């Protein structure tokens, strides 16, 4: 540990959003201002991932006071150093206030949140292993190496009832036990960090904010099953996470916490990083292994399962980032402690990314068993702009859309499955009453169809046919029998697809038909979209209250709006592209959608 004593520490956010807004300039300004006042040896600058207010970044937090400053410029830094760090006076005009706290990713936890695996994120320097060790980091590994046999470790994970957080919810302890029972001198541990759901960033946040927790979990897993090599498979779209992981691996090796003879026990375990190109299907474990092996990322039939024959035909366990980050806490605090969190069949907490029509979007961590309604209205602050709740989709693009009558449903694997949805990796999209559920089904089917690897016919062809029918309905060309065709196709795709992508792709379609069938019928029979979203089923009309300001005509890309200045304008429906630009730019509410 360093002997240097600092009277103040400054945490500087280096998340991509803050970097894009000039975080590096802020750091340079800090160094200059501290040097100018002779404070460089008294104040430590630490780079860390998202602190919570990137939408108002660049941002810093000054400790020990814990004061957050946002909307920073180099001039603001000069003033903050002069006033706060030199004279002890907080500069209030740059200070974060509760009113600003709205759309940040990592907020102070609401009453029903519970920070466990996210507890260190934004608090420690993720690029300093000493920060992690000072907060009980690697204590679980020390306990394992000095007190526990591999069987003891597996028994503890089994007792905790930790379920895989990657989506399927398979018990982690059972997966480890299967691999441990295989007779092989070569085994592997893989961390699946190929987080591909649109809008999901739970794994990225953990890797950027607390990478050593994931490494510690991997080492313990390797010890438990008898593996000596691990791989972290992370997508290239996470450059800061990749950098942070590399630094963490290097630091752990330097302290003999990774590599040969870990902690002097004779146990060897090392980790390598593999970068994925961003294919969504590579989140599926067999496709992921194929990618690590240098092959095309396509799934293969199972059995054999990876725990029996995985990477290069050897026993392999694959857990995602969040699952592995739970391991040190379980070992250090005990399975009995972990069992106190959650409900009967679902223990511990779960991270979710909240998106959509809620007051507070972003990253949350809540105990499993919390209800959908509690997340939407207590944690997320309810529906924004005073609109009415309509549906929530759980589980990413392969999840189902759940209507208002099921808001009291606990968030867990069984209850969400019973509604036709999934837990997935943890994406939650909340929709208000301006959402068209047919268009939502089309949107997600477009994503999964595009991401299909094409290996199996049901997924490759079936998702294309479903997308074509949905596009036809949204254009106003739907016909009787389309709903039944969608249901029939969906069942064939679920039954015949090779991997989870195809098996889950129809979920948005099946649930929107089940719970919002009237919207499909209105699109087909009445040629109406109640939400006024589908372009083929709406038209725009200029009211007599038009002032003739000509803003709409100047902005219309198809020149469908004509008229003289200060005269009511006319919209040619045959030329109109239904882009909605006129509605957006009109300041007099003189344009309506019908």
Residue 2, pLDDT score? 46
Cross-strand bridge partners of residue 11: 46, 61
| Cα-to-chain-centroid distance, residue 268 | 33
Q: In what order do the strands lie in the sheet with 8-13?
A: 43-48, 8-13, 60-63, 67-69
For residue 47, CA distances in Å to 15, 83, 140, 246 come to 9, 22, 26, 16
Tell me: pLDDT of 10 over 50: yes
Instruction: Give residue-wise pLDDT tens across range 247-292.
Output: 999 999 999 999 999 999 999 999 999 999 888 888 889 999 999 9
Residue 87, pLDDT score? 86
Residue 66, pLDDT score? 83
Residue 15, pLDDT score? 75
Tell me: pLDDT of 105 over 50: no
Residue 201, pLDDT score? 83
pTM value? 0.84
User: Sorting pLDDT into bands at 50, 70 and 90, what band is 224?
Assistant: very high
Tell me: pLDDT of 1 over 70: no
Residue 258 near residue 270 (C-beta atoms within 8 A):
yes
Residue 7 near residue 42 (C-beta atoms within 8 A):
yes
Closest listed residue to residue 257, CA positions, set 122, 130, 123: 130
Mean pLDDT over each residue of the chain, to the nearest integer: 90
Integer Cα distance of 50 and 32 in angstroms: 24
Instruction: Give residue-wise pLDDT tens across range 37-87.
Output: 998 888 888 887 666 666 778 888 888 888 889 889 999 999 999 999 888
Q: Residue 594: how many CB atoms within 10 A of its CB?
A: 8
Instruction: Give residue-wise pLDDT tens across range 494-549.
Output: 999 988 888 999 999 999 999 999 999 999 999 999 999 898 899 999 999 999 99
Phi-psi region of 426 (alpha: psi -120 to 50; beta: other; left: phi over 0): left
- For residue 195, say if its preceding peptide bond is cis, omega within 30 degrees of 0: no
Integer Cα distance of 408 and 430 in angstroms: 15
Residue 109, pLDDT score? 55
Integer Cα distance of 212 and 251 in angstroms: 9
Half-sphere exposure of 82 (CA within 13 A, CB side): 8
Integer Cα distance of 33 and 21 in angstroms: 20
Q: Say whether 423 sits in a helix, a strand or coil.
A: coil
Instruction: Give residue-wise pLDDT tens across range 410-447.
Output: 999 999 999 999 988 888 999 999 999 999 999 999 99
Cross-strand bridge partners of residue 271: 230
In sequence order, what are the residues at sequence separation of 6 or more whose Cβ sits closer than 8 angstroms to the Cβ of residue 154? 173, 176, 177, 180, 224, 225
Tell me: pLDDT of 451 over 90: no
- Residues 185-210, mean pLDDT to the nearest whole number: 89
In the numeric block, the tokens 């969504």 are attached to 280
If you ran DSSP here, which 8-state letter would residue 171 be given? B
Residue 98, pLDDT score? 53
Residue 52, pLDDT score? 62
Per DSSP, helices labelled H in 199-295 are 202-209, 211-225, 239-254, 285-292
Residue 106, pLDDT score? 46
The full set of domains in the chain, from first to last, is 8-100 (3.40.30.10), 129-339 (3.40.50.11540), 349-432 (3.10.20.600), 437-526 (1.20.1440.230), 539-593 (3.30.70.20)
Residue 51, pLDDT score? 64
User: Sorting pLDDT into bands at 50, 70 and 90, what band is 197?
Assistant: confident
């Amino acid at each position: 540990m360093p002997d240097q004593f600092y009277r103040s520490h400054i945490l500087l956010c280096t998340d991509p959003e803050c970097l894009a807004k000039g975080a590096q300039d802020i750091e340079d300004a800090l160094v200059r201002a501290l040097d100018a006042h002779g404070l460089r040896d008294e104040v430590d600058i630490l780079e860390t991932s998202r602190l919570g207010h990137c939408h108002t970044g660049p941002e810093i937090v000054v400790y020990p006071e814990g004061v957050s400053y946002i909307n920073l410029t180099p001039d603001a830094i000069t003033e903050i150093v002069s006033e706060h760090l030199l004279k002890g006076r907080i500069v209030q005009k740059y200070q974060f206030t509760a009113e600003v706290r709205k759309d940040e990713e990592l907020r102070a936890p609401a009453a029903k949140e519970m920070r466990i695996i996210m507890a260190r994120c934004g608090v420690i320097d993720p690029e300093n292993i000493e920060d992690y060790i000072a907060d009980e980091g690697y204590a679980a590994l020390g306990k394992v190496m000095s007190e526990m046999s591999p069987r003891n470790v597996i028994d503890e994970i089994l007792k905790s009832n930790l379920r895989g957080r990657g989506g399927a919810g398979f018990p982690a302890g059972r997966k480890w036990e299967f691999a441990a029972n295989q007779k092989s001198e070569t085994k592997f541990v893989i961390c699946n960090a190929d987080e591909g759901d649109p809008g999901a960033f739970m794994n990225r946040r953990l890797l950027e904010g607390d990478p050593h927790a994931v490494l510690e979990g991997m080492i313990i897993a390797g010890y438990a099953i008898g593996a000596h090599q691990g791989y972290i498979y992370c997508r290239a779209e996470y450059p800061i996470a990749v950098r942070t992981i590399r630094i963490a691996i290097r630091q752990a090796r330097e302290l003999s916490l990774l590599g040969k003879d870990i902690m002097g026990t004779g146990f060897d375990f090392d980790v390598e990083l593999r970068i994925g190109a961003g294919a969504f299907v590579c989140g599926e474990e067999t496709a992921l292994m194929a990618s690590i092996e240098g092959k095309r990322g396509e799934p293969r039939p199972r059995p054999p399962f990876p725990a029996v024959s995985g990477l290069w035909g050897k026993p392999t366990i694959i857990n995602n980032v969040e699952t592995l980050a739970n391991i040190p806490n379980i070992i250090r605090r005990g399975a009995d402690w972990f069992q106190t969190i959650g409900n009967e069949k679902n223990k511990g907490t779960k991270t979710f990314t909240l998106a959509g029509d809620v007051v507070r979007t972003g990253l949350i961590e809540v105990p499993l068993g919390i209800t959908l309604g509690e997340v939407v209205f207590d944690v997320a602050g309810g529906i924004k702009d005073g609109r009415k709740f309509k549906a929530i989709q759980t589980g990413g693009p392969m999840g189902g859309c759940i209507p208002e009558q099921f808001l009291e449903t606990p968030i867990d694997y069984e209850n969400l499955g019973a509604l036709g949805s999934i837990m997935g990796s943890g994406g939650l999209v909340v929709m208000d009453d301006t959402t068209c559920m047919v268009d939502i089904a089309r949107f997600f089917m477009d994503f999964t169809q595009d991401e299909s690897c094409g290996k199996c016919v049901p997924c490759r062809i079936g998702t294309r046919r479903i997308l074509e029918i949905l596009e036809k309905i949204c254009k106003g060309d739907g016909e009787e029998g389309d709903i039944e065709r969608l249901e029939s196709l969906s069942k064939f795709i679920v039954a015949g697809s090779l991997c989870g992508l195809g098996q889950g792709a129809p979920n948005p379609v099946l649930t929107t038909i089940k719970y919002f069938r009237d919207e499909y019928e209105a699109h087909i029979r009445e040629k109406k979209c109640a939400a006024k979203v589908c372009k083929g089923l709406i038209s725009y009309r200029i009211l007599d209250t038009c002032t003739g300001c000509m803003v709409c005509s100047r902005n219309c890309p198809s020149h469908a709006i004509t008229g003289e200045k200060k005269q009511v304008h006319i919209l040619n429906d045959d030329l109109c592209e239904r882009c909605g630009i006129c509605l957006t730019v009109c300041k007099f509410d003189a344009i309506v959608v019908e």
